[in-house]
Amino acid sequence: KNDVQDFGIEESLSELSQLVDTAGLLVVGSTYQKLTSPNPRTYIGSGKVSEIKSAIHALGVETVIFDDELSAGQLRNLEKIFGGDVRVCDRTALILDIFNQRAATHEASLQVSLAQMEYQLPRLTKMWTHLERQAGGKVKGMGEKQIEVDKRILRNQIGILKKELESVRKHRKQYRNRRFSVPVAVVSLVGYTNAGKSTLLNQLTGADVLAEDKLFATLDPTTRRVQMKNGKEFLLTDTVGFIQKLPTTLVAAFRATLEEISESSLLVHVVDISHPLAEQQINAVDKVLSELDVSSIPKLIVWNKVDKVGDPQKLRLEAEKRDDVVCISALSGNGLQEFCNAVQDKLKDSMVWVEALVP
């Protein structure tokens, strides 16, 4: 990688692992190599290619994910070398997969599809050169013509999508479908990937701050219905996390996946307070939030992973001075009661705060 100065290799790979996990895949190993410039054919050097190939066979690897954007040629060459059914992809394709899984609104789906098509466009060569090879070179040139046809089709589709997006934006409100006919408070978790949002979401399932497990129904993989002992309830929903190295081509798609939060009653900004770049991460999240139409929504800040900081007591005192911060350890469950109380406090004035729907 050539941007190591502001973002370390280890850190970048650990973020990539986190993203792989989010996409529902299991990481079995990772490796990196320092080169003065990427190999134009295979991105990594030939020794590294062999090393990975051996690992693929030894570990039964199905997918190899690169932390940088690969060219169409590099993707093709690597897939050919690794052989079989091994899928090679890059960070951008992985992030697009995640956005695709998480796109909750019609507009977000369109925006992600658009980004996927724009990503595919320069990488179309793959399929057709493969056919050419199969035909033993007898149809030389056929692939080339077909690529042009395909590119034209894809460009047309991109044009259509862009028009559709424009019209959806004009009628945005119309497309927002409420999850429930009875209004219920929706609390959205935002924050960096790895901040502990899903740990918090999952921990609340078993925590005794809640009435009973069975009342904690999972609505979809990222939303929980939380009912507290006092009978009050709210929906707690996770969002796609912020990413340090978000390719610029994906910024619009990322924003679109976040747009649903403008319907929330409360935003909970989860911060990994033990992270050396916590301050920068907070600012980056705030910057994007200020660009979305959410300034009127109340916000609660959660300093998570207090178990990992050197002086948790000092942190707690600092948090106590502010009425919008709670300290928790999502992992150990420490502070969950305070978290729920704070949520309740913030929602107090909210119009959509209703008594429990579940008897």
Torsion of CA 158, 164, 169, 175, to 10 degrees: -130
Which one, of 231, 292, 222, 264, lies nearest residue 352 by Cα?
A: 264
Assign residue 120 a region (left: φ > 0; alpha: ψ between -120 and 50; beta: otherwise). Answer: alpha
The window from 35-43, 60-68, 196-204, 229-237 that contacts ligand GDP (CB under 6 A) reads 196-204
The window from 23-31, 74-82, 111-119, 193-201 that contacts ligand GDP (CB under 6 A) reads 193-201
- CB of residue 350 to ligand GDP, shortest distance in Å: 24
DSSP string, 214-227: GGS-EEETTEEEEE
Site residues (CB under 6 A) for ligand GDP, limited to 14-43: 18
**Contact with ligand GDP (CB under 6 A) among 194, 222, 223, 239:** 194
Structure tokens at 201: 């979401």
Closer residue to ligand GDP (CB): 98 or 343? 98
Structure tokens at 202: 């999952």
Closer residue to ligand GDP (CB): 194 or 350? 194
How far apart, in whole angstroms, are the C-alpha atoms of residue 12 and residue 193?
12
- CB of residue 66 to ligand GDP, shortest distance in Å: 21
Site string for ligand GDP, 198-227 (x = CB under 6 A): xx----------------------------
CB atoms < 10 A from the CB of 92, how many?
A: 20
How far apart, in whole angstroms, are the C-alpha atoms of residue 69 and residue 317?
44
Site string for ligand GDP, 296-335 (x = CB under 6 A): --------xx-xx--------------------xxx----
Closer residue to ligand GDP (CB): 11 or 132? 11
Site residues (CB under 6 A) for ligand GDP, limited to 228-287: 241
Closer residue to ligand GDP (CB): 186 or 270? 270
**Total residues interacting with ligand GDP, rule: CB under 6 A:** 17
- CB of residue 4 to ligand GDP, shortest distance in Å: 23
Query: Considering Cα of 256, then 168, then 175, then 352, what sign does the dihedral take?
Result: positive
46-59 and 72-82 helices, crossing angle to 10°: 50
Closer residue to ligand GDP (CB): 195 or 289? 195
Closer residue to ligand GDP (CB): 70 or 319? 319
The full length of the chain comes to 359
Closer residue to ligand GDP (CB): 190 or 250? 190
Give the 3-state secondary structure of 130-144. Answer: HHHHHCCCCCCCHHH
Summarize as ranges the residues that interact with ligand GDP (CB under 6 A): 18, 191, 193-199, 241, 304-305, 307-308, 329-331
